[in-house]
Amino acid sequence: AQSVTQPDIHITVSEGASLELRCNYSYGATPYLFWYVQSPGQGLQLLLKYFSGDTLVQGIKGFEAEFKRSQSSFNLRKPSVHWSDAAEYFCAVMAIQGAQKLVFGQGTRLTINP
Amino acid sequence: DTGVSQDPRHKITKRGQNVTFRCDPISEHNRLYWYRQTLGQGPEFLTYFQNEAQLEKSRLLSDRFSAERPKGSFSTLEIQHTEQGDSAMYLCASSLVRSSYNEQFFGPGTRLTVL
């Protein structure tokens, strides 16, 4: 069965500092990989996705993520965070076949210090 | 607004009552998914439709839950005899399946509180 682990439940960084959110997945093959962001009262917004090819993918809002097959990881990074980045971040996997339902991690809540 | 919409946004009900939620997907999207998100957790898959056919249901979807998508357009999710454990955010997503990938677009969710 697929599973996603986000080891950090809550992270606090200062505005302007760099950010890395960790994500590890368990799946029999390479799945599709995603990062979503959820702000209070808002729906889930897709930040970026990985299917194949270049293991460093660029997303919206200055985010990027790197797929490392050997570590089954898909960590999200941003060089310099802004106060508006405070939100809940979810890593998710999707099987290539079948229902293609998303399997989410439990999320990492990001707090930004001014 | 051409995104996914859900109604109502909030619902407070008493234990034992029935509730129904509605999801309007993006026009022309042929797949529609329902997820449930409890406090402090990521969303969990409940069920999905390909056009009007319900193709898969999670074990999370007990007999008290029923979902429909008549005519392959909007969808409804009904919970009968609600329990306090049903309190959660119910998220709907739609997608247009082409080739081997479908990007799911999420609605704002319906937050259910069962007293």
What is chain B's pLDDT, residue by residue, as a tens digit (115 residues)? Answer: 579 999 999 999 999 999 999 999 999 899 999 999 999 899 999 999 999 999 999 988 899 999 999 988 999 999 999 999 999 999 999 998 876 667 899 999 999 999 9
E strand or H helix at B33: strand B31-37
Higher pLDDT, B41 or A27: B41
Average pLDDT over residues A70-77: 96
Closest CA to B23 of B40, B56, B46: B46
The answer to whether A87 and A20 are in contact (CB under 8 A) is: no
Cβ <8 Å between A102 and B45? yes
**Identity (one letter) of the amino acid at B94?**
S
How many beta-carbon pairs under 8 angstroms link A with B?
56
Cα–Cα separations (whole angstroms), residue B14 to A49, B17, B64, B82, B102 = 40, 6, 15, 8, 37
How far apart, in whole angstroms, are the C-alpha atoms of residue B17 and residue B112? 12
Residue of chain B nearest A5, judged by CA positions:
B42
First to last CA, chain A: 41
Is A53 near chain B, with CB under 8 Å?
A: no
pLDDT score of A47: 96
pLDDT at position B98: 74
Nearest to B33 among A92, A98, A101 (CB): A101
Q: Which B residues 59-88 touch A at CB under 8 Å? A: none
Record: contact A44-B42, CB cut-off 8 A:
no
Q: Give residue A95's pLDDT band: very low, low, confident or very high (50, 70, 90).
A: confident
Query: Is A89:A9 a contact under the CB 8 Å cutoff?
Result: no
User: Among A42, A101, A104, whose Cβ lies nearest the Cβ of B42?
Assistant: A104
CA distance B3 to chain A (A): 11
A107 close contact with B: CB closer than 8 A:
yes
